[in-house]
Amino acid sequence: MEVAIARRSVAHRRADDYALTPLRDSRPATGRAASVVECEHCGQAVRCRVYSVADTIRFRARWRLVSRLCIVAAAAVLLADAISIAGHLPDKPASHLAATLFGLSSVATAGCVLLSIRANRLSRDEDGVRLASWSDPHRLRWSSVLPSD
C-alpha cells in the first residue's frame, strides 16, 4: 500500500492555478532515494529526491541553527551600533564614514531578521522532498489535504 510521504505535491502550473499530484513512495531508511512521479495533468515524469527521516530531522536542525545565528548576528550589530552612537554626542557629530556604516548595519540587521524568520519557517515546514531538477511547469506546492488510499 502506498501512502503520501510529504505534505507537498508535485504541482503543474496552469494559467491561473496548479494541478496537484501527490507524492506516493516509501521513504528510504537512510540517505536519499530518487522517486519518479507521473504528473496527472500532463503525464510527464517528474523526478524527485526523497530523504530519510534522519536526514529530514538534520535539515530542520540546520535551519533552526541558521535562524538562531541570524538573531545573534542581528543582536551583535545592534550592540555595536549602540556603542558607536554612545561615543558621539550632539556637540560632536559622527563622521560621514560612521554614519554610512550605521546605515549599512541597519540594512544588515533587517536582513538578518528577515533571514531568521525565513529559516525558522523552513525549519518547521521541511519535509525532506526536493525536485531533482527544475522543470518549467512543475514545482512543489503545499497540499491542504493528504490523500489516502
pLDDT band, residue 75 (cuts 50/70/90): very high
Q: Tell me the pLDDT of the chain averaged across its residues.
A: 80
**Residue pair 14/39 in contact by the 8 Å Cβ criterion:** no
CA 48/CA 32 separation, integer angstroms: 10
Domain range summary for the chain, segments of one domain joined by +:
4-54+127-142, 59-125
Higher-confidence residue: 99 or 55?
55
CA 41/CA 28 separation, integer angstroms: 27
Q: What is the pTM of this model?
A: 0.70
Report pLDDT digits (tens) over 19-40.
777 777 778 888 888 888 888 8
Percent helix, percent strand, percent coil in the chain, to nearest 5: 45, 25, 30
Q: Which residues pair with 24 in a beta bridge?
A: 4
